[in-house]
């Protein structure tokens, strides 16, 4: 009956899974992700050998590990993108439960690896950061709650999702990890806005975020130190921000040349949080512009495809995933150019990091699954028919 009223895209009976997936998936987004991963390997070849030498490993030890983790991430992305939205929702809810339990036990069993924040589990051969996997799973769970709230006699999904978001933020603040906490609140706010939140309520949320930041500044030395460093008019050239700023300045438009950069010898996180500084120094503004364009292309294409989606759950979850993907990249680059306070946040698919890469692959796979072309009339078709009626 729905197809008779709204129309449907043609379904090819008996079409195999892979051809149907290839016909319906957003190939431009896949191409952008593959390019970002390739750029990450290229920058890893430049940024990681100094750290490998310092730690007594082979020169390309970290590059090889990045290739392995990246391969697993791409496999996760392709497999997840072939799933139906219902299956993605079920797995997302189960994944949220597992990641949330892991987050709860971090203060007991976690480690900080000498960085002052207990965010990881040490597995011996690698480390696991639960918050990276919690982000996409939370987006799916919150979208499910909000979509259910739009049904007749539905549950108070918006309130429930907000309660879950605040609980996660509380656990993240204990680590402390205010960057991931901000991403969780941002994702919830974006989805709530798309679901039809009153503008005054969004203003109230912004005021609440400012209040929370003030409390964190007054009670967390870790948070206050980063804010003070950001607000200081002078940058210590011996700090990570000082080294990154100098590298970006030296790179100019075309860079100093492949392998000629010096910042990788000074920055301990040159292959992770400050990988964009390596790109700017050796390849200049040209490569940085390409990287930014690739992230913008993924986010904009995904949002345009989601605008035509009728299912509220798919529309909300896809919007949340696309926005946190873009905002995480924005935060990483903003920190490197000193537009934002320092945060331990990777550049998706470019920075080194097992948890970040694999969780990013799952998140983009979910996004690709939500933006696939499905046999349904688009929401614009429905509105046009109602207008003519």
DSSP string, 144-176: HHHHHHTSTT---HHHHHHHHHHHHHHHHHHTT
Phi-psi region of 236 (alpha: psi -120 to 50; beta: other; left: phi over 0): beta
Give the pTM.
0.87
For residue 215, the model assigns a pLDDT of 76
Q: Closest Cα partner for 369 from 12, 29, 13? A: 29
- 9-13, 101-105, 152-156, 306-310, range with greatest mean pLDDT: 101-105
> Which tokens go with 72?
């697993």
Residue 27 has pLDDT above 90, yes or no: yes
Handedness of CA 102, 103, 107, 112 (dihedral sign): positive
Give the start-to-end residue ranges of the domains of the chain.
16-236+304-388
For residue 4, the model assigns a pLDDT of 33
Residue 186 has pLDDT above 60, yes or no: yes
Contact 355, 66 (CB under 8 A): no
Report phi then psi at 368, rounded to 5: -65, -35
Residue 74 has pLDDT above 80, yes or no: yes
Going by pLDDT thresholds of 50, 70 and 90, the confidence category of residue 201 is confident
SS3 call for 323: helix
- What is the distance between the alpha carbons of residues 199 and 205, in angstroms, rounded to a whole number? 10
Going by pLDDT thresholds of 50, 70 and 90, the confidence category of residue 145 is very high
Q: What is the mean pLDDT of residues 167-179?
A: 87
More confident residue, 236 or 356: 356
Q: Closest Cα partner for 107 from 198, 28, 175, 6? A: 175
Beta-bridge mates of residue 122 = 127
DSSP 15: -
Residue 190 has pLDDT above 50, yes or no: yes
- What is the distance between the alpha carbons of residues 341 and 328, in angstroms, rounded to a whole number? 13
**Mean pLDDT in the chain?**
85
Residue 92 has pLDDT above 80, yes or no: yes
Strands 127-128, 121-122: pairing is antiparallel
More confident residue, 174 or 91: 91
Report phi then psi at 137, rounded to 5: -65, -40
- What is the distance between the alpha carbons of residues 274 and 346, in angstroms, rounded to a whole number? 8
For residue 240, the model assigns a pLDDT of 74
Q: Is the peptide bond before 176 cis (omega within 30 degrees of 0)?
A: yes
Q: What is the mean pLDDT of residues 264-292?
A: 87
Going by pLDDT thresholds of 50, 70 and 90, the confidence category of residue 103 is very high
- pLDDT tens track for 335-350: 888 888 777 788 999 9
Q: How many CB atoms within 10 Å of residue 219? A: 10
Contact 4, 256 (CB under 8 A): no
Q: What is the mean pLDDT of residues 274-288?
A: 91
> Which tokens go with 300?
């904009």
Residue 13 has pLDDT above 60, yes or no: no
- What is the distance between the alpha carbons of residues 61 and 80, in angstroms, rounded to a whole number? 29
Q: What is the mean pLDDT of residues 18-28?
A: 91
Residue 208 has pLDDT above 90, yes or no: no
- What is the distance between the alpha carbons of residues 299 and 345, in angstroms, rounded to a whole number? 18
Q: What is the mean pLDDT of residues 270-293?
A: 90
Scan for tokens 């680590």, then name that residue.
175
More confident residue, 45 or 198: 45
**Residue-level length of the chain:** 389
Q: How many CB atoms within 10 Å of residue 9? A: 12
Residue 245 has pLDDT above 90, yes or no: no
Q: How many CB atoms within 10 Å of residue 245? A: 19
Q: What is the mean pLDDT of residues 192-212?
A: 78
For residue 2, the model assigns a pLDDT of 35
Q: What is the mean pLDDT of residues 194-223?
A: 75
More confident residue, 327 or 154: 327
For residue 140, the model assigns a pLDDT of 97
Q: What percent of the chain has pLDDT over 90?
A: 44
């Amino acid at each position: 009956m729905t197809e008779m009223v709204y129309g449907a895209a043609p379904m090819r009976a008996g079409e195999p899974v892979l051809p149907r997936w290839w016909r319906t998936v957003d190939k431009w987004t896949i191409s952008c992700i593959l390019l970002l991963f390739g750029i990450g390997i290229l920058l890893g070849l430049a940024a990681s050998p100094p750290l490998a030498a310092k730690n007594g490993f082979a020169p390309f030890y970290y590059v090889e590990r990045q290739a392995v983790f990246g391969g697993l991430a791409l496999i996760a992305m392709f497999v997840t993108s072939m799933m139906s939205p219902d299956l993605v929702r079920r797995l997302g809810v189960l994944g949220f439960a597992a990641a949330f339990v892991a987050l709860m036990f971090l203060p007991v069993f976690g480690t900080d690896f000498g960085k002052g924040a207990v965010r990881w589990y040490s597995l011996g051969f690698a480390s696991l950061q639960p918050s990276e996997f919690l982000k996409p799973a939370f987006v799916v769970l919150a979208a499910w709650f909000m979509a259910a709230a739009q049904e007749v006699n539905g549950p108070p999904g918006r309130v429930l999702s907000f309660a879950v978001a605040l609980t996660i933020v509380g656990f993240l603040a204990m680590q402390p990890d205010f960057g991931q906490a901000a991403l969780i609140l941002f994702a919830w706010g974006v989805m709530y806005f798309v679901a039809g939140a009153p503008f005054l309520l969004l203003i109230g949320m912004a005021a609440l975020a400012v209040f929370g930041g003030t409390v964190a500044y007054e009670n967390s030395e870790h948070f206050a130190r980063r804010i003070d460093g950001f607000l200081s008019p002078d940058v210590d050239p011996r700090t990570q921000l000082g080294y990154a700023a100098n590298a970006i300045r030296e790179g100019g438009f075309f860079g100093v040349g492949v392998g000629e950069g010096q910042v990788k010898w000074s920055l301990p996180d040159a292959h992770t949080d400050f990988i964009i500084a390596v790109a700017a120094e050796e390849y200049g503004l040209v490569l940085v512009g390409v990287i930014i364009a690739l992230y913008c292309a993924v986010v904009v294409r995904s949002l345009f495809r989601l605008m035509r989606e009728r299912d509220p759950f798919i529309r909300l979850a896809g919007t949340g995933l696309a926005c946190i993907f873009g905002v995480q990249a924005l935060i990483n680059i903003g920190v490197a150019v000193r537009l934002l306070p320092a945060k331990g946040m990777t550049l998706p698919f470019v920075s080194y990091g097992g948890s970040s890469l694999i969780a990013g692959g799952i998140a983009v796979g979910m996004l690709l699954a939500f933006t696939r072309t499905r046999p349904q009339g688009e929401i614009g078709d429905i509105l046009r028919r109602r207008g003519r009626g």
